[in-house]
Structure 1
């Protein structure tokens, strides 16, 4: 880059000049942060299969719900931090803070001597988790152009299953340990993805939009120049032009929405529509039926007649692999099928799967015939496939991209508040609902999904292929984007080899 008259003053030399390498590192950030979330969430599913865990804490329906709900309690407590920390201290520092909080919680969980200590550890993990999931997606979204943004942010939550798979494999291997280390080891190894997440941060830049919004314009233009790539004819000129567009859009946002982002979220018809979509999607992520597979797989397998611990742990590993593969495929298809249609396809498939699952459990749930048991299991895999294909890739992408810069962290906080509040509620109630309702539970959940499918059909806005600033136009924020010009396709869409895509 020296040949282009560019010399780094703010961007660390650890950040690679090759945009392809930088994109790989950004994907790695998505993978590791998502895997951390996946491990933290899925570890309870694996622990509940282990007799050493259930007997050590003498678990009942109530205490099982409490242990599962603890992480959601922490997430609710963390909601007060998820907007001010990323907006004030930057996206990178927020990820770092979240990781340290998570490590503290992991230490307490692994060393727990009683339910109270275990629950406190899980609460702290939940606090770190919610801060991470509100900080990392905006960093990626604000560094990447549309062609990369959709699949990288799709991969972000799709790699939730990498953590889940890692957790399932460790639980499968630790079940033969004849001590409390059978459950302490899987708890302790939550350290690994957190440590990897910290090690990646020095190799990626800060969000240029955060830098511009906070008056660090020279730093921002360096970041944009690095992203543009050294092999462009004049990356500094292209970076300066893009910075002016971003700066103009942020300035107009600030003028149009001068109050705090929390007040501005309800100030216009466009923002009220965003709130509706954020709340709807927050409801969907927890209530379409995935909660039972993520947290109560043991119970649903038992209802299906599969009660052997070894078979249950094997199925847990296989379902994580299946979900990961399907979610990755869904991530790359978001810009082909489109956000709205892909979500509708998934909702339709999940609804049909739940009706089928309820009917099969009613007819064959007490059967000892292997073929009938595995017929029920096949429907569980089918349901999880539809969820992984549609909802999983959208989880980090859609709430992030439908909000303008000023409202992004606050919007994600609204989305996560709905998400974690429902997660907490369902953690306490799901065990009782599944015990008392049996097969009827799946019919009720499927009928609820029909209502959510109607909400998606009527209100979801398609955002594929658009710059973050252009998406505002789809919501009617024309005054914010007036004068904004999308980067020319010959620069962004068909870059010279070596430019970040």
Structure 2
């Protein structure tokens, strides 16, 4: 949408103003909100893989409608359907990855997973840059249609990805789960099968204890204990942060910022959009690998301080030099935009898929993702409608207000965020007070090479012959 907004063929075709620009941007969030009721029951009942497949098909239908839009109504309906499918995939893929990955790689793989948001942004920016000279509505229809490529890739590759062993065990497919664990552990040798049996024993123990502690529906249990209420509070706080730290305006209203900075040439704006996506992806990948070095909490605060400082600078520079025709001053403002985007990409982007997945137990994971997604989508919808007017009416003052809000959010992160660096998921549960998870067996951090969530160290002699075979 950021790239389309730069194209005159798109804005002229729909005769966009502040209201209709906000509506087109907000449509995807409407779809996300409509999808919230399904994001817990579908992946929990039918599996993470099937949920992703359904989401991909839904998204493809929305893409076709958007590309074929004859008016704003048709465009908006297409975007709503895309938002519906995206919502379902966003709460299915991260749990699948988290439940397949060992702790040693969980942070950077999940971080890189969401960082690929910028790969999509980069491809979109490149396509928009190339299509800007098409002398017809295909200048914006082609970028819209090419959104189907990730859907096609997903459908093609999904058959080669295993289902979550935790979901398989929880739904009675233990032999399949053991095979998945063995393959993830290195193959189907006797040692791999024995190790898979040990891991499966840990998972069964964890699931049984969670079921005993949380016997009701995930939605009731999510609000039933102080530990779970703390989880909900963090999910809400993080969901608010995602949409209000300032990245929303860079993602959806880069054209407005560049115009306020004195950079109004369409060709130059599309170039900048391509470069900023490359920069953001590079920084996000670096941040993903540093999460287990710096720590989730500290890295988040470092990025938020950077965002607050750069937004203060951006507002001041636009105030003083926004109307300047001096190229050096214009590009000084652009440098601040890059520093802001780098701060967000370094800290928040890698955390987006990781943190909400880590802090919730298996039974609560999909429901927790729905809470996080609901807050994210609700704020996204609100911001879509209001940002266009706020940027137009407040001008440079808007960035100072946003920066001050970031200072408040940084304080809340300092006070309430739970550090999860290097911890097994059971050990994370202990940080919230869920002692029942590890009662009766020893949690050993040296088991970080395990491919499952279980932190308990069991001897092979503790397993029955049936469990090993």
Scaled by the length of structure 1, what TM-score is found? 0.88
Map of 1:92-491 to 2, 5 A cutoff?
92-230=49-187, 234-486=191-443, 489=446
Q: State the distance in 1 between where 2:430 and 2:299 align.
A: 22
Do the aligned residues in 2 keep the contact of 1:245 with 1:484 (CA within 8 Å)?
no
Q: State the distance in 1 between where 2:232 and 2:362 align.
A: 15
Q: State the distance in 2 between where 1:81 and 1:130 align.
A: 9
Change (3 A) 1:465 1:419: same
Q: What does the per-residue CA deviation read over 1:341-373, in whole Å, with 9 as the maximum and x for residues that have no partner?
A: 100100010000000000001100110100100
Q: State the distance in 1 between where 2:443 and 2:331 align.
A: 52
Q: State the distance in 1 between where 2:177 and 2:166 align.
A: 7
Do the aligned residues in 2 keep the contact of 1:249 with 1:484 (CA within 8 Å)?
no
Q: CA deviation at 1:387?
A: 0.2
Do the aligned residues in 2 keep the contact of 1:261 with 1:407 (CA within 8 Å)?
yes
Q: CA deviation at 1:309?
A: 0.1
Q: CA deviation at 1:484?
A: 4.3
Q: CA deviation at 1:483?
A: 2.7
Q: What does the per-residue CA deviation read over 1:177-234, in whole Å, with 9 as the maximum and x for residues that have no partner?
A: 0000000000000011110011111111100011111111111111111111138761
RMSD: 1.3
Q: CA deviation at 1:379?
A: 0.2
Long gaps (5+) in structure 2: 452-469
Do the aligned residues in 2 keep the contact of 1:146 with 1:466 (CA within 8 Å)?
yes
Q: CA deviation at 1:482?
A: 1.4
SS of 2:257's equivalent in the other structure is: helix
Give the length in aligned residue pairs.
451
Query: Match for residue 3 of structure 2?
Result: 46
Change (3 A) 1:355 1:408: same
Q: CA deviation at 1:469?
A: 2.4
User: Higher mean Cα deviation, 375-384 or 233-242?
Assistant: 233-242
Change (3 A) 1:202 1:379: same
Q: State the distance in 1 between where 2:100 and 2:23 align.
A: 39
Do the aligned residues in 1 keep the contact of 2:102 with 2:448 (CA within 8 Å)?
no
Long gaps (5+) in structure 1: 1-43, 495-501
Q: State the distance in 1 between where 2:448 and 2:141 align.
A: 52
User: Higher mean Cα deviation, 328-337 or 464-473?
Assistant: 464-473
Do the aligned residues in 1 keep the contact of 2:104 with 2:448 (CA within 8 Å)?
no
Change (3 A) 1:375 1:270: same
Do the aligned residues in 1 keep the contact of 2:62 with 2:78 (CA within 8 Å)?
yes
SS of 1:80's equivalent in the other structure is: helix
Q: State the distance in 2 between where 1:488 and 1:171 align.
A: 48
Q: CA deviation at 1:493?
A: 7.2
Q: State the distance in 1 between where 2:241 and 2:445 align.
A: 36
Query: Match for residue 43 of structure 2?
Result: 86
Do the aligned residues in 2 keep the contact of 1:360 with 1:376 (CA within 8 Å)?
yes
Change (3 A) 1:231 1:485: farther
Do the aligned residues in 2 keep the contact of 1:245 with 1:485 (CA within 8 Å)?
no
SS of 1:465's equivalent in the other structure is: coil
Do the aligned residues in 1 keep the contact of 2:423 with 2:445 (CA within 8 Å)?
no
Do the aligned residues in 1 keep the contact of 2:168 with 2:176 (CA within 8 Å)?
yes
Q: CA deviation at 1:470?
A: 2.4
